[in-house]
Chain A
Amino acid sequence: MVEPIIKIRDLHTQYGDKKVLKGINLDIYPYETFVILGRSGCGKSTLLRHLIGLQKPTQGYIYIKDNNFVTASEKEKNDILKNIGMLFQSSALFNSMTVGDNVALPLREHTPQPDSTIKIMTRMKLGLVGLSGFENFMPAELSGGMKKRAALARALAMDPEILFCDEPSAGLDPIVAVGIDNLILKLKKAFKMTIVVVTHELESVFVIADRIALLHEGEFIFVGTKDEMRRSEVPVVRQFLQRAPDEDDMDKDKFLNSLIGG
């Protein structure tokens, strides 16, 4: 039986009194494209920050390839992170560096590769995302879609086993967004990576996902395949699929008190 590459166990997070993640459990298997879907504020970005070690949960564990990421030392964490690529929603390119230097940076920092090999690897990764010939451009000279692709090339620089993507198509026009989805599919085939995508874009989900989890108010209320999701009778899943707005069940007294501070 195939062991999960990522195991999340009883993960809790709270900011003050507000519980953001309420004891979630999840297994993600090697080579699958797993999409974590959810509305704004549902806790998905918090979960992603835990998965890449930017934030410690209040309680619970995350195992990446059997290494407990939550209790790992800084050195152990850095070793785990070498196998992880991250595509940030904002692209997070270094504006003072060329596109090529942005992609080459993790290779220069973390590998014994000579610069001549790094240059070829950088050009290969830029070619893969359709940015051949852009290595000497500065990030400011790129469009939003191109920045996202450059950031993807950088996330892939170290040939990661796991790629995390935070809202990969957010802020892009529909055609560029489809291009990013196709790119994710191509990369999965080429490099046999496990890809975890956090998004709220439904169109994208049904193109790229092998399995989907719907995070709602800090809990997974659905985990399954695309077909299972389409057939699901869970009300929140149906609401999500039908893009139905919340019902207006306002408590008048509560609303008034919120305004007058009562």
Chain B
Amino acid sequence: MNLEITTEEIDQKVFVNIKGEVDLYSSPEVRKKIFDLVKKKAPVILINLEKVKYMDSSGVATLIEGLQQCNKYNGRFALYGLQDNVREVFELTRLDKIFEIYSDRESALKN
């Protein structure tokens, strides 16, 4: 399944909408999109994972890199809409402790 990534910017907040499966072969595409935003020092990057059915450890590692780069300029990097299986990977690897994770777009925006 192909990966689709779109971005939308609203009030200096960039939403990265990812659709499909993030795996070893598609995660470099996610990385490129996130790094483009990080290079521009986007103050708030919100990753929408509502339509991500599967994410392997390369996808998770890519998000860790995004968070790390964003932290360097004190930007905000948060995830929302994780499906159960994706959330489980974050929980079992204890990465839910280092990421801001929200159930939906509204809660991600509120915080």
Contact = CB atoms under 8 A, between A and B. Distances in A.
B65 A117 contact: yes
Interface in A112-169: 112-114, 116-118, 120-121, 124-125, 127-128, 158-159
B28 A114 contact: yes
B93 A124 contact: yes
Interface string B13-35: 00000000001110110010000
B93 A120 contact: no
B9 interface: no
A189 B57 CA distance: 14
A125 B57 contact: yes
Best-buried of A117, A190, A191 by chain B (most CB within 10 Å): A117
B57 A124 contact: yes
A111 B61 contact: no
B103 interface: no
B83 to A, nearest CB: 12
A89 B24 CA distance: 27
B58 interface: yes
Nearest to B24: A111
Interface string B51-76: 00000111011101100000000000
- Contact size range, B: 10 to 19
Given A112-B28, A113-B24, A159-B56, A191 B61 contact: no
Contacts of B1: none
Contact of B93 (A107, A112, A127): A127
Contacts of A19: none
Interface residues of A, number: 21
Contacts of A128: 93
A192 B89 CA distance: 10
Best-buried of A107, A116, A118 by chain B (most CB within 10 Å): A116
Interface in B52-111: 56-58, 60-62, 64-65, 85, 88-89, 92-93
B99 to A, nearest CB: 13
A190 B24 contact: no
Given A113-B27, A114-B31, A121-B58, A190 B65 contact: no
A155 to B, nearest CB: 13
Contacts of B56: 159
Contacts of B93: 124, 127-128, 190
B61 to A, nearest CB: 4
Contacts of A190: 88-89, 92-93
Contacts of B60: 124
Interface of B: 23-25, 27-28, 31, 56-58, 60-62, 64-65, 85, 88-89, 92-93
Q: What are the nearest 9 A-B pairs in CB distance? A: A120-B61, A159-B56, A190-B92, A121-B61, A111-B24, A117-B61, A121-B57, A120-B64, A159-B57
Interface of A: 107, 111-114, 116-118, 120-121, 124-125, 127-128, 158-159, 186, 189-192
20 contacts: A111-B25, A112-B24, A112-B28, A113-B24, A113-B27, A116-B65, A117-B62, A117-B65, A120-B61, A120-B65, A121-B61, A124-B57, A124-B60, A158-B24, A159-B24, A159-B57, A186-B92, A189-B92, A190-B89, A191-B89
